[in-house]
Amino acid sequence: MKAVAFRCMRLHRPGQPLVLDQCTIDDVPPGKVLLKVHACGVCRTDLHVVDGELPDTRLPIVPGHEIVGEVVACGSGVSFRSGTRLGVPWLGHTCGECDFCAHEQENLCDRALFTGYQLDGGYAEYTLADARYCFELPTTLDDAHAAPLLCAGLIGYRSWRFVQEAKRLGVYGFGAAAHIVAQIARWHGQRLYAFTRPGDTAAQDFAYSLGAHWAGNSDAMPPEPLDSAIIFAPVGSLIPLALKALRKGGTLVCGGIHMSDIPTMPYSLLWGERQIRSVANLTRRDGTEFLELAGRIPIRTEIQTFPLPAANEALARLRNGQLTGAAVLIP
């Protein structure tokens, strides 16, 4: 193939702004697919990468793991047709050989590689991706509105799978993932309780617009005990508050890849067979199930678009809680 030159936003040093660089892809390795990026969502995990909160980041790195792109070329062993629209998620590569991979738990593979963290991602005009971890997308959403499905949607869905039997479901941190989970929960007849930053009435109004039964501050107690709850905000101090809001036997799911330290808390908050579990990455089963469901509901994503060179602005607005829904870069 002819070499492809393109623009990308790259991180050279943690804690520093991304730099608009010129990059080149000379060929497509076996098992990979070359995509022309149409849209890339901006995720809180991108902030953790940029801010140096995740270890072993490959530098320089092109962030971005909510990628919607069009197939341009394929490496050997890959049969996607040119022009096929694909989505690329956070989990970008696994060994395919370990016990986790053999039992549909590839999200726990110790040799996994992640898009926008150890593999160049979608803050770019072109990107390479492992064809095994690309998903065809529902036709009900355009490129920009489909992008948040690739992480906010997938992690939200995996988190929701562990609490899908709850009649009263709480969600802490009403951003990109929560606004998708809200629609899944309502579609399944669950009663949703949304918890936001204290005083964030815009996010609370947004939750009500998506069918929340109640919305309030994260330090408030809901009007009735919750059966289960999901925490999307990377704030460890929310765990005691959420446990206090759960009925006995309830489940608390931590949906983020990074969270600040959990404060000391009395055992009585956990007692009564309450449980806490984390969610790590995603599996291909999650992707297949969720994207099929997203097309049936259909999921409506709330987005704000930015041109590629404005990636630093989009990240800053996400960091400062100035977004409703999800930011999406359009190369």
List pLDDT tens digits, range 218-259: 999 999 999 999 999 999 999 999 999 999 999 999 998 889
**Sheet of strand 168-172: strand arrangement:** 214-217, 191-196, 168-172, 226-231, 246-254, 275-278
What is the pLDDT confidence band of residue 140, given thresholds at 50, 70 and 90?
Answer: confident
292 close to 268: Cβ distance less than 8 angstroms: no
Segment 19-31, tens digit of pLDDT: 999 999 999 999 9
pLDDT score of 257: 85
pLDDT score of 256: 87
> End-to-end alpha-carbon separation of the chain, Å?
22
Give CATH for domain 163-278.
Answer: 3.40.50.720
pLDDT score of 2: 85
278 close to 254: Cβ distance less than 8 angstroms: yes
130 close to 308: Cβ distance less than 8 angstroms: no
Residue 181 has pLDDT above 80, yes or no: yes
What is the pLDDT confidence band of residue 197, given thresholds at 50, 70 and 90?
Answer: very high
CATH class of 4-151+282-330: alpha beta
Residue 168 has pLDDT above 90, yes or no: yes
Residue 203 has pLDDT above 90, yes or no: yes
Q: Which amino acid type is present at position 53?
A: E
Q: How far is CA 103 from CA 94, 96, 99, 132, 147, in A?
A: 13, 10, 6, 16, 28
Residue 97 has pLDDT above 90, yes or no: yes
DSSP state letter for 263: P
Please tell me the distance from the alpha carbon of residue 137 to that of residue 146, in angstroms, as a whole number. 7
pLDDT score of 5: 97
Tokens found for residue 128: 């390479």
Please tell me the distance from the alpha carbon of residue 55 to that of residue 53, in angstroms, as a whole number. 7
Q: Where in the chain is the domain with CATH 3.90.180.10?
A: 4-151+282-330
Residue 193 has pLDDT above 90, yes or no: yes
301: helix, coil or strand?
coil
pLDDT score of 234: 92
Please tell me the distance from the alpha carbon of residue 309 to that of residue 45, in angstroms, as a whole number. 19
What is the pLDDT confidence band of residue 141, given thresholds at 50, 70 and 90?
Answer: confident
Residue 131 has pLDDT above 80, yes or no: yes
Q: Where in the chain is the domain with CATH 3.40.50.720?
A: 163-278
Helical H segments across the chain, by residue range: 44-50, 99-102, 143-146, 152-161, 176-187, 201-209, 238-245, 284-296, 311-319
Segment 279-311, tens digit of pLDDT: 999 999 999 999 999 999 999 999 999 999 999
pLDDT score of 272: 97
Residue 269 has pLDDT above 90, yes or no: yes
Residue holding tokens 């204290």?
198
What is the pLDDT confidence band of residue 138, given thresholds at 50, 70 and 90?
Answer: confident
Segment 99-130, tens digit of pLDDT: 999 999 999 999 999 999 999 999 999 999 99
Q: What is the mean pLDDT of the chain?
A: 96
